[in-house]
Amino acid sequence: MKTRSLIFDFLGCVFLLALPALAGPTFAVYSDPTIAWGSTVASGMNNMGDYVGWNLNAGVYTGFLFDSKGFSPIMVPDSASGVGTHPEGVNDAGQVVGYYQTASGSVQGFIEKSGVYSTLSFPGARSTLAFGINNSGKVVGYYVDSAGITHGFIEQGGVYTTLDVPGAAGTYVLGINALGQVVGSYFDGSQFHAFSFNGVTFDNADFSGAPDSFARAINDSGQIVGWHSDCPTCMPDGYTGYSGAFYDIRPVEGLETYLVAINDLGVVLGDTMLGPTWLSVPTSGGFGGGGPVPPPPPIPEAGTSLLMAGGGALLLALGRLRRRAL
């Protein structure tokens, strides 16, 4: 049986979230000022607050890196017209990983640094998608084999290692920290479950009671971010915490929320939806481009209600999770 393959497509603006110890979360919008109309989507972040993602403008996807110099395009030279390049992760050295569709129609991973691109392709795979990179240059992602089965992988120095959750119908490795701990999701034939892996054992990282959970990133403290769905037709909610003690982050009731990155300072990057109206909020110091960030707070207990910091408008935009077979 062929398993479903996941490509996460979010259409919307970007938010960054800090969780101060004595206040509610603070949100800030970042979007590419060169895009007159379209969507800015977040996908990965490093410890300086630099982040990667892509814009959708006039039907064309263009990847970007946002750092202290502003927005820089990330576009694999031989990516297919109209499909473009999807950066998914960035480390502190500025190495960017992601995936793109070639002109011939195959999907391949890539790694980029200072405008130099290299292809990441699991040997013999039909498709390869890279989602995370740590400061040692270790890359994680997933690939689809010739039989249509999806497997997780870890790559370093051109050496690929398959990482599959035992008994899973499909494994998707999506994030890695400096300690080599990884997170992701697996498909059991009917539902998606989140997991973490410490190099020896797999641990459950599901949001309690949710039929589908996706763990997207993990920082060096072991704090995980991702999203879950409470029912087959429910909008996803973001969640964070440690295995066994997760809580929701949802800026507004009833809106899709996806948490895609967390750095070692506890700053969270995500995407959410409010419709076609996009709002920005002033903050006391930027989080992107090497701006100041608050210290990491203690993790609230599971079920803690998060309130928006007073005086701030909501940061929100359009989000979408798309599942399709490759």
Residue 182 to residue 126: CA distance in whole angstroms:
23
Query: Who contacts 2 (Cβ-Cβ below 8 Å, separation ≥6)?
Result: 147, 148, 149, 325
Token digits for 58? 């006039």
Flag whether pLDDT at 39 surpasses 60.
yes
Confidence (pLDDT) at 272: 67
pLDDT band of 282, cuts 50, 70, 90: very low
**Ordered strands of the 192-197 beta sheet:** 170-176, 182-187, 192-197, 202-204
> Which tokens in the block code for residue 288?
């992107």
Identify the pLDDT of residue 26: 47
- Residue 271 pLDDT > 60: yes
* pLDDT at residue 250, rounded to an integer: 65
Residues with Cβ within 8 Å of residue 247, at least 6 apart in sequence? 239, 240, 241, 300, 301, 302, 303, 304, 306
Q: What pLDDT does residue 209 have?
A: 86
User: Model confidence at 104, in pLDDT bands (50, 70, 90)?
Assistant: confident
What superfamily does domain 14-272 belong to in CATH?
TolB, C-terminal domain (2.120.10.30)
For residue 19 the two structure tokens come to 């969780």
In degrees and rounded to multiples of 5, residue 77 shows phi and psi of: -55, -35
0.95 exceeded by the pTM? no
The string of DSSP codes covering 166-215 is TT-SEEEEEEE-TT--EEEEEE-SS-EEEEEE-SS-EEE-PPTT-SEEEE
Residue ranges per structural domain of the chain: 14-272
Four-point Cα dihedral 130, 41, 296, 138, nearest 10: 10
> In this predicted model, what pLDDT tens digit does every residue of 146-186 receive, in sequence order?
999 999 999 999 999 999 999 999 999 999 999 999 999 99
Instruction: Say if residues 29 and 290 touch (Cβ distance below 8 Å).
Output: no
Residue where the block lists tokens 């990516």: 79
